[in-house]
Amino acid sequence: MNQASEKQSISDSMTINPLLAPISSLLDYASIRPEHIESAIPSLIEEARAAVEKVAADTGPATWQSVVEPLEDASERLWRAWSVAGHLNGVLNTPEIRNAYNACLPAITAYSTWVGLHKGLYAQYRRLKESGEFNTLPPERQRIVELALRDFRLSGVELEGEARERYSEISDEAAQVSQKFSENALDAVDQWELLVTDEQRLAGIPTDVIEAARSAAADSGRDGWKLTLKMPCYLPVMQHARDRELRAQMYRGYATIASDQGDVRFDNSTLIERLLALRAEEASLLGYRSFADMRLETRMADNPAQVLDFLRQLASRARPYGERDLEELNVFAAQEWGIADLQPWDVPFVSERLREARYAYSEEEVRQYFTEDRVLEGLFKVVGRLFGVSMHPISTPVWHPEVRVFDVRDAGNASLGTLYMDLHSRQGKQSGAWVDSERSRRRKGNTLITPVVYLTCNFTPPQNGRPSLLTHDDVITLFHESGHALHALLSKVDDPAASPFASVEWDAIELPSQFMENFCWEWTVVKSLSAHVDTGEPLPRPLYDKMLAARNFQSGMQMLRQIEFALFDMLIHRRDKGLSITEVLKTLDEVRQEVAVLLPPSWHRFPHNFSHLFAGGYGAGYYSYKWAEVLSADAYAAFEEAARVTDDGTRDTLDAATGRRFLEEVLAVGGTRPAADSFRAFRGREPKLDALLRHSGMVEEAPVA
């Protein structure tokens, strides 16, 4: 692409590629075009390659300044640009952006593999480790060097000949397969729809969901109501639709996403097979028995057997509660709704009715109190009290009009970083909720570059002039993701290689996020989060008490479901070779027979949409949710222990002193030390399972199997 075509006309003027802006500046997201991605990435790769070769050829003393600093200088612009490309591919997936991303993916993968296999660069890091300077480096920089050497070995740097070439081929193909898996899942959801023309079939569904479905149908030039598999539509239908056949249709659509049982254009079966084979082959090339063994080299857990023992221990504690939950559901379904053969598509609906009957409230009633703006205001107050930081809205170009941007400042009003929030569901946006970073904190001399973080959710957009209303589960999701964002934004680590997202062990990365969820159950916090959409009144205390009483409603079934996912993940990845899709589904069936209390139909194809495993970083790592939940529950117990009782007898866990310790010992230190050391520094001891079981309502007086 020539120089003229690289430039974009904006406001009657010409400007350079926005992705090539200085690393210290905020990007002009509104001006980024697909051609900017295709132009910037190759040139930035070329710059980074030149820097690597220069460092590798240096025959002078190996020092931090001669080895690490030049590589950071050369690579930070590349990884910032690629992070932006990946982010836009997830939140604004137009055909043009997808094509640009896919056009650059092979070059990025090849570059990453080339760096990992670069013997000259590896030798320089070894020289630095063996030099006299190494012992004079701060502990966090020593750790960066040691982790780099580990990662070089895990990247195949010691491979030779055909094995080395094969490793490169595997890396490239695995990246392509994962990307295609993600595209198939997104496209399968975007393409699926159910047009309802009989309004009676919509009985029970919340009004705003019905109105959104009517608008969606009208936008496509049709009468009726267009239902989709996106969560703001799918979940309310499953929870509230009285039409059992409608629920069954929606359930089948969601359960067969990107599979042989759904739209076969997007079938992920062969991609799952291929990815498992590639992962097993990669592990074998590097001398590991399995992909799981290889992955656990960089985790807190020691080996797959330890993970399986941990999960099965939890399952044994949860199973009696799960069995009790299902029995209660079966009895209620039969007695109150005449459903003698409870099916999976009945469970959300009957569960919601049982919860309403038992605790005398509905999710729809609660949702009226959680307007998006009020929830954000309350969240920011919590963060302010705990960590002494404040959020200030700023105006800067964004990729979608609904995106909000905040300057995060400390108690002295110094900027700590920038937070982009993209909270609403829309066509072409990947489902789910996640946090990622555009750039990490870095200090260069007297200059401090602060982090830029994306927080993405898929909440229901505002409808007909009314604000977006969140369920309490949505509120919990927002707090969860804010924990990830705070981990990056409040880091005091000046070297990006030790930043939270770069070097905190994967099975500890969920600690801050799951920790933040706990505050959503505290009365003092809930009051600050709530204001009725019509009256502005906070959530009534009696309604909160009902919610609290229902907190562990069906917690046994929910925990067993998560354990099912984690066991399945570990078992398919601890094999020494790939599996056929038949073997994958057989493994899942065996796991369900072991831990599940409610079995889905034979045509259920959950793995085909399991993007965490096959298009994300959670392969052989899904157990980390439960592993980190032990840490987070125990960490939150410190706030419970420090809580004060207010004048009205309410417990207030927003203890600033404990929050400051959590900030200093967990959030601020990033990956400068092992996560286990950070937990011990905060808690003063090893983690215990007790708090998780207590928070989940699984205490010793529980029923036994």
Question: Are residues 85 and 16 part of one domain?
Answer: yes
Quote the mean pLDDT of the chain: 95
DSSP 407: E
Q: What is the pLDDT of residues 587-607, one digit of tens each?
A: 999 999 999 999 999 999 999
Tokens standing for residue 470: 């969140």
Which residues lie across from 227 on neighbouring strands?
A: 194
DSSP-based three-state secondary structure for 333: helix
Is 305 among the domain residues? no
Choose one of 107, 138, 158: the last residue of a domain.
158
The percentage of residues in the chain with a pLDDT greater than 70, rounded to a whole number, is 97
Is the sign of the CA dihedral 516, 521, 525, 526 positive or negative?
positive
The answer as to whether 433 is a domain residue is no
Q: Band of the pLDDT at 341, cuts 50, 70, 90?
A: very high
- 76 falls in which pLDDT band (50, 70, 90)? very high
Answer for the pair 405, 418: CB distance below 8 angstroms, yes or no.
yes
10 and 110 fall within a common domain? yes
Backbone angles phi, psi at 98, to 5 degrees: -60, -45
Give domain status of residue 470, yes or no: no
Question: Total domain count for the chain?
Answer: 2
pLDDT in tens, 402-453: 999 999 999 999 999 999 999 999 999 999 999 999 999 999 989 999 999 9
Residues 31 and 98 in one domain: yes
Are the beta carbons of 637 and 467 closer than 8 angstroms?
no
What confidence tier does 74 reach under pLDDT thresholds 50, 70, 90?
Answer: confident
Q: Are residues 43 and 109 in the same domain?
A: yes
Residue 570 covered by a domain? no
Asked if 237 contacts 196 with a C-beta cutoff of 8 angstroms, the reply is no
For residue 436, the cross-strand partners are 454
- The pair phi, psi for residue 419, each rounded to 5°, is -120, 120
In tens, the pLDDT along 142-200 reads 999 999 999 999 999 999 999 999 999 999 999 999 999 999 999 999 999 999 999 99
Statement to judge: residues 22 and 138 lie in one domain: yes
Assess whether 198 and 244 both reside in one domain: yes
In a domain, 516, yes or no: no
- Which residues, including other chains, have CB under 8 Å from residue 454's CB and lie 6 or more apart? 87, 420, 422, 435, 436, 437, 438
Output the CA torsion sign for 254, 256, 259, 264. Answer: negative
Residue type, position 135, single letter: N
Do 11 and 146 lie in one domain? The reply is: yes
**Is 105 in contact with 176 (CB distance < 8 Å)?**
yes
Closest among 57, 60, 55 to 74, alpha carbons compared: 55
- Range(s) of the domain holding residue 78: 3-158
pLDDT digits (tens, 9 = 90+) for 77-96: 999 999 999 999 999 999 99
CA angle 423, 427, 430 (to 5 degrees): 60
Number of helices (H), then strands (E), in the chain: 28, 13
- Transcribe 370-384 into DSSP letters: -BHHHHHHHHHHHHH
Pick the last residue of a domain from 202, 233, 256: 256
284, part of any domain: no
- Antiparallel, parallel or unpaired: β 415-424 and 452-459: parallel
Banded model confidence at residue 253, pLDDT cuts 50, 70, 90: very high
Q: Has this prediction a pTM greater than 0.75?
A: yes
How buried is 338 (Cβ within 10 angstroms: 0-12 exposed, 13-18 middle, 19+ buried)?
exposed
Q: Which of these three, 135, 158, 181, is where a domain ends?
A: 158
* Same domain flag for 151 and 12: yes
> Which tokens in the block code for residue 55?
């460092």
Residue 15 is assigned to a structural domain of this protein: yes
Torsions phi, psi for 65 (to 5 deg): -70, -25
pLDDT bracket for residue 15 (50, 70, 90) = low
Query: Does 73 lie in the same domain as 219?
Result: no
DSSP bridge partners of 393: 406
Catalytically active residues, by annotation: 481
Give, for 393, the enclosing helix (H) or strand (E): strand 390-393
- Indicate whether 166 belongs to any domain: no
Q: Residues 138, 211: one domain?
A: no
pLDDT over 90 percentage in the chain: 94
C-alpha closest to that of 597 among 623, 569, 563, 548: 563
Residue 3: pLDDT over 90: no
What is the spatial distance between Cα 315 and Cα 17, in angstroms, rounded to a whole number? Answer: 53
| Residues 148, 10 share a domain | yes
The arithmetic mean of pLDDT across residues 270-294, rounded, is: 98
Residue 196's closest CA among 225, 230, 232? 225
Nearest to 88 by CA among 27, 43, 45, 44: 27
Compute the chain's Rg from CA coordinates. 26
Question: Is residue 552 within 8 Å of residue 696, measured between CB atoms?
Answer: yes
Same domain assignment for residues 148 and 24: yes
500 Cβ contact list (under 8 Å, min separation 6): 487, 488, 491, 493, 509, 667, 670, 671
CATH number at residue 78: 1.10.1370.40
Helices (DSSP H) in 31-94: which residue ranges? 34-57, 64-91
